[in-house]
Amino acid sequence: MTWRLRVDPIACTGHGLCAELLPETIDLDEWGYPIIGSLSDGLLPLARRAVADCPTLALLLERDRTR
């Protein structure tokens, strides 16, 4: 099972916490909003934590049906 991260862009207010927890996968643009990269399975526990810690619950972990 492959997973991917997704952002609800309306809910996201650019706290940037997710990029601190998952710098391997999440980059911030110049305005502080996340740019999501691909997620390796080894990072799944950290990804779950980033999802739980997002202050606006804007980070979503979903099954990746495209891969």
Question: Which residues form the interface with another protein (CB under 8 A)?
Answer: 7-14, 29-33, 35
Least CB distance from residue 45 to another protein, whole Å? 25
**How many whole angstroms separate alpha carbon 55 and alpha carbon 11?**
10
Using alpha carbons only, what angle is made at residue 4 by residues 49 and 11, rounded to the nearest 5 degrees? Answer: 65
**How many whole angstroms separate alpha carbon 35 and alpha carbon 33?**
7
Cβ proximity to another protein, 3 vs 16, nearer residue: 16
Cβ proximity to another protein, 29 vs 41, nearer residue: 29
Cβ proximity to another protein, 1 vs 10, nearer residue: 10
